[in-house]
Chain A
Amino acid sequence: MAEDYLRPEHRVEITKLEERNHIAAEKLIARQANKAARRAEGKVSRSEAKRIAKELKNNPPPIAPAADPSLIWKKMLEEQQNANANTDKQ
């Protein structure tokens, strides 16, 4: 198998990359929190916006889990079947 050709240092590299991705994800959340607060700035007072930004930074919302792919496939399967039925009619 292809993975058997991976040397131990490659595997360590992969683990490091995954860790870096996690940190990048956290940074992204912080940046999004700032953006949300800035957007809200126009509607709420400056101090309130700052408070929201701080709160979001300290307690970032969890990353939403990926949608269940089987639900998406089910929907697309129905689409496929409808398209096929239409083609047959024509």
Chain B
Amino acid sequence: MQTQTPISSEMQTELNRINEPAGVVRWIPDPQEMLYVILARADHSFFLREPRPQVAELLTPSYEEAAKILLKFVGGSILSDLVKQRVCGAVEFFLRNTCQVSPEAMAEFKKDCPFDPLKCDIFYGLGLNGE
């Protein structure tokens, strides 16, 4: 029988904070905008203001370390596969495209990560009608 490890309230708050923009509660459609909101602790409506902020200017390589920690934290958490897929996928895209992490360094880093968005199939077990 599998026993679930108890989660502290602090961790629950943190998971909720990540779950909101990445999940259905306050879904942010653009993954990079979602990642910025999580990393910078911005409000979910941050990108709705006029003039619209450009995520390419905000999400700079200075967030690289934080993004790597986020990937490991989310990968090992109890969040749903969909949320993990969105957050980890956005982090990988950010590391490869914005921080210019080489494929070898990326493969080395991903060895310690508990979740791989490329290998996870979020539609596993669903029928033809998605039920």
- The answer to the question of B14 belonging to the interface, with a C-beta cut-off of 8 Å to chain A, is yes
Residues of B within 8 A of A83 (CB): 5
Nearest B residue (CB) for A18: B49
Chain B: how many interface residues by the 8 Å CB criterion?
26
* A70–chain B nearest beta-carbon distance, Å: 4
Residues of B within 8 A of A87 (CB): 3, 5
Contact of B49 among A14, A66, A69, A72 (CB under 8 A): A14
Would you call B76 and A77 a contact (CB within 8 A)?
yes
Nearest A residue (CB) for B5: A83
Would you call B70 and A15 a contact (CB within 8 A)?
no
Would you call B14 and A3 a contact (CB within 8 A)?
no
- The answer to the question of B93 belonging to the interface, with a C-beta cut-off of 8 Å to chain A, is no
Residues of B within 8 A of A76 (CB): 10-11, 14, 73
- The answer to the question of B39 belonging to the interface, with a C-beta cut-off of 8 Å to chain A, is yes
Would you call A80 and B45 a contact (CB within 8 A)?
no
Nearest A residue (CB) for B73: A73
Residues of B within 8 A of A70 (CB): 39, 65-66, 69-70
Q: Which of A1-54 contact B (CB under 8 A)?
A: 1-3, 6, 8, 11-12, 14-15, 18
Q: Which residues of A contact B (CB under 8 A)?
A: 1-3, 6, 8, 11-12, 14-15, 18, 66, 68-70, 72-74, 76-77, 79-81, 83-84, 86-87
